[in-house]
Structure 1
Amino acid sequence: MKKFASLFALVLVLSLVMSACGPTAAPVPTAAPTEAPAAVETVAATEAASDVLTLTLWVYDDTRLATLNQLGEDFMTEYGVALSVEVVDLSEIRNAMSLGATTGEGPDMIIIPHDNLGPMVENASATEIDLGDNADKYLEPAVKAFTYNGKLYGLPLSVENIGFFYNTDLVTEAPMTWTEVAEIGTQLVKDGKAESVIGLPDLGYNIYPLYTAFGGYIFGRDADGNHTPEDIGMNSDGMAAALQWVKDLVDAGVVSPTIDWEAAHVAFETGKTPFISTGPWAITRFKTAGVNYAISAFPAVADGGEAGHPFMGVQGLVINAARPNVALAQTFADFLATEENYQALFEADTRPSAWMSVFEGATDADTAAFNSAGVNADPMPSIPAMGFVWDAWTNAGNLVMTGEKTPAEALQTAVDQVLAGIAE
């Protein structure tokens, strides 16, 4: 039924376009043509091309560009509608969706990380999407990630989360607890086999599994399951305990107080630290460096305790509600929603697929390990208030590492900064 409705909308849109393009009366020449026939053929071809309706899709990286272009050609063959895919900076995509809500300009569709969704829903620039009969074919957390106030505003395409890496030349088995991480790493430093217990790319996103293992969280959820700024957990006991775990290692001289993304990755790939929490983006550089590694799920605080879980990031297709081609864009979303197309997207990018059968069918060892590490991943909050979290969280970590504030004090300052941002 949904397929029929999409086709009906497509036929209606195309019929309106064609009737608008057609002349109201036969042209009457006022003079004999003077141009060569070749020029006449060129003009005719240009006019014919201009009659083809084109959907525009903006993406923020080029990893799937070739595959999306091929899918666009397939869509053109089946529906007679062209697809123009453009790589545009994510900040420009956000700005275009914000301005387009009032001007009607911008792309017909975008592919974004789900945590950019909130402001687009709030300014009515994103339109609701219907998964129809395919609803049960998607990973539930991926669907939840693009669900805002109980409505779905994005077609989930892929998911990603970080994993716990360990150097197999230094550590034979993945540690089960964060206590073991500290003990193993400290011994390696004392033995002169490592310089740091663990590489820390940041004190926020990349060690979120440490916070969650201790019971920390950023935003709670309301009765409907939506993240809510009414429950900010950044100053919870679990968050403070996790930061204290890091500070204890800094005070012991086995972790640097200077937190740096690049330095942490270099330390791991050169064998100077046995552990790092990072994502699929690091695989290529680690393989190029020749470091022997394995990826595991995250440790718990104690034996038998609940393992830490990372944030889940979801990339998805969002339809611009301000553009005139909403029904046609939904038709493209319906066209895209097949196992074959999702398999093609996965092979182009290797980010785990949001399509359940493709996700479960991944045979690559690294992909399978990331999938296991992200089993209980929490979709990153997409509410606008999340935009105030990152700087506040970073500042809190820095205040603790320099000894200016205790974890509890620094995290309370972070909450105050978030609340101030919300109030503006």
Structure 2
Amino acid sequence: MKKMLLSLSIVATIVTACGGTGGAAPTTAPPTQAPAIATTAAPTAAPTQAATAPAPTTEPTSAPEATPQATPTVKPLASKEGTLTIWVDGGRVKMIENLGKKFTEKYNVPVAVQELGFGDIRDQLKIAGPAGEGPDIIIGAHDWLGELVTNGLLTPLDLGDKAKNIDPVAIKAFTYEGKLYGLPYNTEAIALYYNKDLVPEPPKTWDELKAIAKKLQDEKRVEQGYVMQQGDPYHTYPLLTGFGGYIFGRDAQGNYNPKDLGLDSPGGLAYARELDSLIKNGILRKDVNYELMMNLFKQGKSAMFITGPWALGDVRASKVNYGIAKIPMMKQTPRPFVGVQGFMVSAFGKNQLLAQTFLTEFVATDEAMQALYEAVPAAPAWLPLREKVMDPDLTMFAQSAADGDPMPAIPQMSAVWEAWGKAITLIFQQQQDPEQAIKDAAAAIRQKIGQ
């Protein structure tokens, strides 16, 4: 353990370019603000520890994109021994700066916080990390793990007793090949939106949802009782799992197993038949995209749809008397995909011990998690905070996430989306037998991942 005398005070402002998110895609990234670097300083010494990072691999990875990417106009701030460097996206900068000041006061170590666009954090780490120019800590999404861990860019974390305060689904999301690579702080999953003027009480079962939707349509009170966008695997995943299907099974250690594809399992075929039945019975219709789905609900022309918390702003602005509920029970509990955001430690950072200490002693606390929630409200992964959150909508999304499956972070997941989405579209368009469409998709996926 090394001790260093440090005295540093730097405040600089940097402008970076950030990309926006489209309405149709779920995102774990909040809007960004003007980028900045803030560095806290202290006059006395504290422990540091240089890291021995694993060499990056050349194995190609292609994890699915959770957010659009942008190209920064400046060189990101690099880790240097004795100064903790953190890359953060927009809304959380001030909160992390405040934690940095407290860390400096206790350990006499400067903390430099740089804002980057959410996608830029991952993209720049891939370039800057191996070159010795990356940060010590990043904020990011759990489904980056397949790419970042495979390429040797992250180091495992040991949260000790703090792990018991975190949603087990969130811990599982940040676990890759049996090792934990992140400190989760929020979760994101889809749930049922319903118009209380049309549906006073949310349906408890899938059959009840279908009956309500059909009745409202038959009575000409809505154009569609229930709306689902065409060709969207992400939003149909609860239907797949609710009818007994899955995408990837798990091995004995609980890791996703790319050799066990369940899209064309008996449950997967039942899911395909159910989609087909919804179209044939007039509950769903073809050529509906996310924008149309949202507009129908906001205009009172539909009664129910399923999506995530990113739609809350639009729905609230529409003045519709809405409610949020868990996805209705199907043949078994429907499990939505869960996205998790958290803090990760770079394998190439020069302050491994400091980074671990910052996360376990300063971030994994009630106070810090409350501040993160206030900075960018989202369903907290920190269980003591979740019990205190008063927003009923976010509470319901958190309950939905508790039933869910972490979005697979393995690289093979990138081979799934296109073929799966095509199969759904063929079913919506009534252009192919539903079971054959799903079987063809599964065959294409297996071929792409080399099975």
How far residue 215 of structure 1 moved from its aligned partner, in angstroms, is 0.8
Tell me, yes or no, if the aligned pair for 2:272 and 2:438 is still in contact at 8 Å: no
Name the TM-score, length of structure 1 as normaliser.
Answer: 0.83
Q: Which residue of 2 aligns with 1:291?
A: 320
Tell me, yes or no, if the aligned pair for 1:101 and 1:123 is still in contact at 8 Å: no
**Which of these residues, 242, 250, 256, is aligned with residue 213 of structure 1?**
242
Aligned residue type for 2:148: M
How far residue 274 of structure 1 moved from its aligned partner, in angstroms, is 0.9
Q: Which residue of 2 aligns with 1:238?
A: 267
C-alpha distance in 2 between matches for 1:190 and 1:104:
64
Q: Which residue of 1 aligns with 2:157?
A: 129
Alignment root-mean-square deviation, CA: 2.5
C-alpha distance in 2 between matches for 1:410 and 1:235:
10
**Which of these residues, 414, 423, 433, is aligned with residue 406 of structure 1?**
433
Structure 1 103/412 Cα, relative in aligned 2: closer, same or farther at 3 Å?
farther
Q: Secondary structure at the match of 2:184?
A: strand
Matched, 1:196 2:224: yes
Tell me, yes or no, if the aligned pair for 1:240 and 1:411 is still in contact at 8 Å: yes
Aligned residue type for 1:240: L
Tell me, yes or no, if the aligned pair for 1:164 and 1:276 is still in contact at 8 Å: yes
| More off after superposition, 230-239 vs 312-321 | 230-239
**Which of these residues, 403, 406, 417, is aligned with residue 379 of structure 1?**
406
User: Pairwise mapping of residues 107-146 of structure 1 onto structure 2 (< 5 A)?
Assistant: 107-146=135-174
1:328-367 CA-to-partner distances (Å, cap 9, x unmatched) read 2222212211111011111222212221111122222112
How far residue 13 of structure 1 moved from its aligned partner, in angstroms, is 5.7
* Structure holding more strand per residue: 2
Aligned residue type for 1:327: L
User: Pairwise mapping of residues 302-317 of structure 1 onto structure 2 (< 5 A)?
Assistant: 305-317=331-343
1:358-415 CA-to-partner distances (Å, cap 9, x unmatched) read 1122222112222222332111211111122222221221122222322222222322
Aligned residue type for 2:4: L
How far residue 417 of structure 1 moved from its aligned partner, in angstroms, is 3.0
Structure 1 101/414 Cα, relative in aligned 2: closer, same or farther at 3 Å?
farther
Segments of 5+ residues of structure 2 without an aligned counterpart are 8-40, 44-76
Name the TM-score, length of structure 2 as normaliser.
Answer: 0.78
Q: Which residue of 2 aligns with 1:33?
A: none
Q: Which residue of 1 aligns with 2:11?
A: none
Q: Secondary structure at the match of 1:112?
A: strand
**Which of these residues, 246, 264, 283, is aligned with residue 293 of structure 2?**
264
Q: Which residue of 2 aligns with 1:150?
A: 178
How far residue 53 of structure 1 moved from its aligned partner, in angstroms, is 4.9
* Structure holding more helix per residue: 1
Tell me, yes or no, if the aligned pair for 2:244 and 2:332 is still in contact at 8 Å: no
C-alpha distance in 1 between matches for 2:131 and 2:440:
39
Tell me, yes or no, if the aligned pair for 1:201 and 1:265 is still in contact at 8 Å: no
How far residue 257 of structure 1 moved from its aligned partner, in angstroms, is 0.5
User: Pairwise mapping of residues 3-14 of structure 1 onto structure 2 (< 5 A)?
Assistant: 9=1, 12=2, 14=4
Structure 1 348/384 Cα, relative in aligned 2: closer, same or farther at 3 Å?
same
C-alpha distance in 1 between matches for 2:275 and 2:177:
36
User: Pairwise mapping of residues 69-88 of structure 1 onto structure 2 (< 5 A)?
Assistant: 69-79=97-107, 80-88=109-117
Structure 1 321/74 Cα, relative in aligned 2: closer, same or farther at 3 Å?
same
1:122-154 CA-to-partner distances (Å, cap 9, x unmatched) read 111110111023122212111111111111111
C-alpha distance in 1 between matches for 2:225 and 2:272:
15
C-alpha distance in 2 between matches for 1:299 and 1:242:
15
**Which of these residues, 359, 368, 377, is aligned with residue 341 of structure 1?**
368
Q: Identity of paired residues, percent?
A: 38
1:293-352 CA-to-partner distances (Å, cap 9, x unmatched) read 111122123xxx533121221111111102322222222212211111011111222212
Q: Secondary structure at the match of 1:210?
A: helix
| More off after superposition, 245-254 vs 335-344 | 245-254
Larger Rg: 1
Q: What is the number of equivalent residue pairs in this alignment? A: 379
C-alpha distance in 2 between matches for 1:160 and 1:333:
21
Q: Which residue of 1 aligns with 2:72?
A: none
Tell me, yes or no, if the aligned pair for 1:196 and 1:273 is still in contact at 8 Å: yes
C-alpha distance in 1 between matches for 2:372 and 2:170:
16
Tell me, yes or no, if the aligned pair for 2:118 and 2:140 is still in contact at 8 Å: no
Structure 1 82/374 Cα, relative in aligned 2: closer, same or farther at 3 Å?
closer
Q: Which residue of 1 aligns with 2:213?
A: 185
Segments of 5+ residues of structure 1 without an aligned counterpart are 1-8, 19-45
Matched, 1:275 2:304: yes
Q: Which residue of 1 aligns with 2:357?
A: 331
Q: Which residue of 2 aligns with 1:228?
A: 257
| More off after superposition, 388-397 vs 289-298 | 388-397
C-alpha distance in 2 between matches for 1:308 and 1:281:
20
C-alpha distance in 2 between matches for 1:143 and 1:306:
24
C-alpha distance in 1 between matches for 2:349 and 2:291:
41
| More off after superposition, 258-267 vs 145-154 | 258-267
Aligned residue type for 2:254: G
User: Pairwise mapping of residues 339-378 of structure 1 onto structure 2 (< 5 A)?
Assistant: 339-378=366-405
